[in-house]
Every structure is written in structure tokens, then in C-alpha cells.
A and B are shown apart, each in its own frame.
Chain A
């Protein structure tokens, strides 16, 4: 088995182990933290597909995270009130079933990505970064100015959505759901990366002139990667909404986009478990240092700078050394 795969398994086992120990010791708060890390990791796994494998530096993934969150919040609040979300062109009732909400959250995020990607992928480099940022900011301002679902204050719902056979309000059970989805997303993304599509996508990242010269069109490839990426991040947004039973425009702000990027860069761009390592370290730092000083983000900044300058493969790259990624 490749060393990177072993490392991925080790990181996942450590996360799982932490939760098992916390459960035995009755540390509910630790489980909630681990759940948050798991959800952030999932958001990062989504971004990593675009950023790491596709070379698309999206500074707007919070848009998809937020869309996933709002779809969840809106469906849940309507389910709570027993009203329809929309009656035209067809009647859409609210829902409090995760199995129904997830596909909707992913579809909405994917549809938004199709639109945003189709436009922003006509640019590249700094312009791509700026255009994706601009779209996310637009959505965030839209959420702020839309009073129906809470506007600036955000939207609360009182009961976590349900999953057949589980009590999602029990922290460890909700963690299990998030963890299972993270594992599925990791498997899916490792499969995609190795597929024909993955081969072409990674070729276009490294040398799109060469890809075109052998008959491969980078634009469409990148658009598809962007959409898949957004769907995964949108699913993470849905889970995050359920974790907090609250969504707000902050989920779509550029801070959030930046944080998702930090998970990926800290952990290792284009490394399967990069976002997992990144999100776990982020949450650890936030928890350990955030209590000590409000300036913990300055420290995070320094760490990020050190990684970018001295270990461009991120934490995973550091752990594996010599082993270069494709």
C-alpha cells in the first residue's frame, strides 16, 4: 500500500480514536470539536479536487458551503412550520430528513457552481481568484439583505434533522454520520483522481497547451471538476448547518472561503488527506490557542507562511518527504 494511503488511514484512525476515547470519558465537547473538524475536512476535500488536482484557486468556495447550509436551514425551517418552500413551478415542501436534504444541498451547490464556473473559468490566475471571490461575496450580501430567512441575523432551526435509525442529537451519533460521509468523499475523490477524468484534469493543470495538443479541452474538464468540488463542499455546508442548527451569511463570507483554503494548503494541496490534516490542525490551534489569545490567527498566519515557503506539500508532504505527488 502506498505510504500516502497509510498516512490517510492513520489520520482518520486518530480522529476516530479521539472520539471513541472522548465518548468513554463523557467529553461531549471534544466530540463536537471533532465533528466540526470532520465537516471542515469534508469542505476541504471538495475544494482540494478543484484546487489541488485541477489547479483552480477558488477563493469562493464559501458560496457552496453557504448554499448547502441555507438549503438545509430553509428546508428544516419550513418542515418545522409545516409550510411549503415554494409552490411554483411545483410544490416543494420543507424536509427534516437528512437523506432528502443532502441531495438538494448538493444539487443547489452544483447548479451554482455550474453558473459561477462557466463564467469564472474563462479567466485564469489572479482573475479567477477575484471572480470566484466576487461571486461568493454577492451571494453573501444577498443572504444579508433577504429578510425572509433571517437576513443578517441568520436562520435558526430548533431540532437537528433526522437520519433513519439514529438519534442525530446524540453527539457521537452525529459524528458518525459526518465521519461516514467524509470517508465516502475521500474514497470518491481518490477514485476520481485515478480515473480517465482525473488523468486529463491533472494534465490540464500542469500543461494545458499540451493537453489541447493531444485533443483534450481544459475548459469543460475544469468546469466538471469545479461542479463536483462544489457539491462536496455544499454537502459539508449542510452538515455544518445541522451541527449548529443555525445558518448565517457568515458561512458564505470570504473569511470562510479563506479558511477552507487554509485547510487545503496547511494539509497539503493535491494530497488526498491534506484537507483532513489541515482541518484537524486548524481546529486544534483554534481551540488550544484561541483561549489563550485572540491573536491566534496571527500564529496561524505564521504557520501558513512557513508551510508555503518551506513545505509546499503541506503537512502531508512533510510527513512523506521524498514522495512527490502526481
Chain B
């Protein structure tokens, strides 16, 4: 598959006797939103963590932009353009919105070992940070501490940090969680445009968002992918209906 940006082959990961990732193969292609759905505890977050390097797989390979990244640590994978958001928002609480995004700009661009010039007066950091804040609609919250943001704003801050990495692929773990109808709709519009910048692997329970955004869907149950296909194919798949979507879908 020449236009695959990210390819997982036969990944396996167990926690003790629990097989959380069971021979998972999956790819993420240029320009697409690939949704990963499945019941609680299916192993979706565990899979994301193996891609980012927070967890190391027991077997299988991960190829990103034509190169194996299995041996790289999380920071190195992030610098290659693997940008993730966390299921439970994870930001730097005492930093302002601007500082949080600057941190991501710094991580992506390098030059951490500079000790003299104040970071807040370094346009190499502040200009891109302001730009990404604008992109997610946080331009008027630059000096607010992340700890004081609303849940929805913190989600957007995470997205801005992901954007600041100049990502080659997004890994978003339930970005809609807890956003409410209005917030989810707003984020759906935002994500829809992002796929052209970099493809998105989207873990999401909100099926409205998944059906609105996804080009393809993979269904994970007990660590195994039971189906991959287009929205229509997945909607029509009996096994998926039984195990996950329920009767109403």
C-alpha cells in the first residue's frame, strides 16, 4: 500500500494473562480519517500507546513513513510527526495556553538547550504558538492557565499542541469525550479539515462523529480487529452490529 503513512503489522501486547492487542494489523492512509471503534476495554488506548511508544509491543512491527519506528522512544516518534491527544486531557496545568503550545513548538523544532533568551520573547516559539491557538479558537485565552480552562477548551488546547508538532499523522484518543453536542459538532468540523494536513487515527465512542468523519472504520473487540471497511460496510456488518453497534445503528 504505497499511500499508507502508518502501518501496524501483527501487533501483540499482553498484560499478564490479558491479551490487550491480539494480532492487530491496520494502516492509516494519506488524507483519511480512520476511526477505531470498540467497546470499553477493547484495547484501543493500548494500541495508541504502542504507536506512540508509551508501551512497547510484545510482537509485530510499526512502520511510519516507510521506516520502522519500533526502536524509537516517545519523544523521538513525536518529533517525527506522530501527534497524539490523550483520552483524559493531558496538558501542563500551571502553564498558560500560550506556554503549552510553545512547549510543543519547542519539542518539534528542537533547540531545547538554550538558556538565555526568555522563551516568551522568542518569536520562533511565540509566533507559531499564537497561530495554532488561533486555529483552534483559543486566541483570546492565551494568558489563561491551562488548569483554569473549561473541559472543551482543554481539548482544543491539546489539538493545538498536536498541530504545533507539524504532524505527519494524528492519533486522537476520544477527542469528543465530555464535549457535549455543540462542542462535538464544532470539533467535528475542525477535524474534518485536518485530514488534508495529516491523516487521523480517531478512537471515538461518539458514533455521530465517527459516521460524519470517517473514511474507514476498524472495529476492535477484545484486542482483535473484527472488521475494517467503509462507513456503509461497517453499518451493514452483522458481527459488528451484534458486538458493538447494537440494534439502533
Interfacial residues, chain A to chain B (CB-CB below 8 A): 191-192, 194-200, 202-203, 206-207, 209-217, 221, 224, 324-326
Given the complex of chains A and B, what is the CA–CA distance between A170 and B112 in angstroms? 44
Instruction: For the complex formed, measure the closest distance between the CB of B94 and the CB atoms of chain A, giving whole angstroms.
Output: 5
Contact across chains for A203 and B116 when beta carbons are under 8 A apart: no
**A197 lies within 8 A of B102 (CB):** no
A199, B78: Cβ atoms under 8 Å?
no
With contacts A203-B92, A203-B95, A221-B112 taken as known, whether A212 is within 8 angstroms of B106 at the C-beta atoms is no
Q: Which of B160-217 contact A (CB under 8 A)?
A: 161, 164-165
Chain A residue numbers with a CB within 8 Å of B122 are 196
Residues 12 to 30 of chain B near chain A (Cβ within 8 Å): none
Which of chain B's residues 108-149 have a Cβ closer than 8 Å to chain A? 108, 111-120, 122, 125, 145
User: Cβ of A207 and Cβ of B120 under 8 Å apart?
Assistant: no
Q: A195-B119, A197-B112, A224-B113 are in contact. Are A210 and B78 (CB under 8 A)?
A: no
CB neighbours of B156 from chain A (8 A): none
Quick one: which of B73, B92, B108, B125 contacts A206, CB cutoff 8 A?
B92
* Inter-chain contact A195/B115, CB cutoff 8 Å: yes
**If the complex has contacts A206-B92, A209-B90, A210-B92, are A196 and B125 also in contact, measured as CB distance less than 8 A?**
yes
Nearest residue (CB) in A for B122 is A196
Q: Which residues of chain B have C-beta atoms less than 8 A from A214's C-beta? A: 78, 103-104, 106-108, 161, 164-165
Judge if B54 is at the interface, Cβ distance under 8 Å.
yes
Structural contact, B112 and A210, CB atoms closer than 8 A: no
Q: How many Å from the CB of B64 to the closest CB on chain A? A: 14
Instruction: Provide 29 A-B residue pairs closer than 8 Å at the C-beta atoms, listed in order of the A residue.
Output: A191-B118, A194-B119, A195-B116, A195-B118, A196-B114, A196-B117, A196-B119, A197-B112, A197-B115, A199-B99, A200-B107, A202-B94, A203-B103, A206-B92, A207-B92, A210-B90, A211-B75, A211-B92, A211-B103, A212-B54, A213-B84, A213-B86, A214-B104, A214-B108, A215-B108, A217-B75, A324-B94, A326-B94, A326-B95
Interface SS of chain A: helix
B78/A207 in contact, CB under 8 A? no
Instruction: A203 to B74: give the CA distance in the assembly, Å.
Output: 16
Neighbour of A200 across the interface among B90, B112, B117, B145, CB < 8 A: B112
Closest to B164 in A: A214
B165:A197 contact, CB within 8 angstroms: no
| Inter-subunit contact B106/A200 (CB<8 Å) | yes
**B119 pairs with A216, CB closer than 8 A:** no
Taking the closest CB of chain A, its distance from the CB of B155, in whole angstroms, is: 14
Closest 4 CB pairs of A and B: A215-B107, A214-B107, A215-B78, A215-B79
- Cβ of B159 within 8 Å of any chain A Cβ, yes or no, is no
> With A212-B73, A326-B95 in contact, is A191–B84 under 8 Å at CB?
no
Q: Which residues of B contact A215 (CB under 8 A)?
A: 75-76, 78-79, 104, 107-108, 165
**CB-based contact A212/B74 at 8 Å:** yes
Chain A residues within 8 Å of B165, by CB: 214-215
Q: B45 to chain A: closest CB distance in Å? A: 13
CA–CA, A191 to B114, complex, Å? 11
* Distance, CA A2 to CA B161, complexed state (A): 28
| A-side contacts of B120, CB under 8 Å | 194
CB contact under 8 A between A213 and B52, given known A197-B112, A199-B103, A199-B106: yes
Task: Provide the residues of chain A in CB contact with B104, threshold 8 Å.
Answer: 214-215
Which residue in chain B gives the minimum CB-CB distance to A228? B115
Given contacts A212-B78, A214-B161, A215-B108, contact A197 B90 (CB under 8 A): no
A191: B residues at CB distance < 8 A: 115-116, 118
Could you tell me the distance between the alpha carbons of A55 and B176 in the complex, rounded to whole angstroms? 33
Name B119's closest neighbour in chain A (CB-CB): A199
